């Protein structure tokens, strides 16, 4: 039934097994990458579209610890005092 040269040798079985593993690994990798691409959060948010007020920026700097409470209150009072007028 199997003549010489028509059967699959040991290397043929190895090549078929390896190609099957590579095939399924590629299919799984593509599926995982698609799921990750669909479920990732959007990088562009609406906060960039609406500018922050000076009070919000000052509050964020205070929350991050860039300025202390005294400087925060001084700058907040300066913001609420209104624009400076030149004599």
Q: Is residue 1 very low, low, confident or very high in pLDDT (cuts 50, 70, 90)?
A: very low
DSSP state of 46: G
Distance of alpha carbon 80 from alpha carbon 82, whole angstroms: 5
Tokens coding 34: 């698609």
pTM more than 0.85: no
3-state secondary structure of 51: coil
Return the domain boundaries, the chain. 52-81
Q: Is residue 7 very low, low, confident or very high in pLDDT (cuts 50, 70, 90)?
A: low
Return the ∠ at Cα 19 (arms to 26 and 24), rounded to 5°: 30
Distance of alpha carbon 34 from alpha carbon 56, whole angstroms: 38
pLDDT in tens, 11-53: 778 888 999 999 999 999 999 999 999 988 876 655 556 788 8
Helix spans in 1-87 (H): 10-39, 54-64, 69-81
């Amino acid at each position: 039934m199997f003549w010489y040269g028509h059967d699959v040798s040991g290397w043929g079985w190895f090549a078929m097994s390896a190609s099957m593993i590579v095939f399924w690994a590629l299919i799984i990798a593509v599926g995982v990458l698609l799921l990750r691409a669909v479920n990732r959060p959007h990088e562009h948010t609406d906060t960039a579209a609406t500018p922050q007020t000076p009070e919000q920026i000052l509050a964020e700097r205070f929350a991050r610890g860039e300025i202390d409470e005294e400087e925060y209150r001084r700058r907040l009072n300066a913001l609420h005092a209104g624009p400076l007028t030149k004599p």
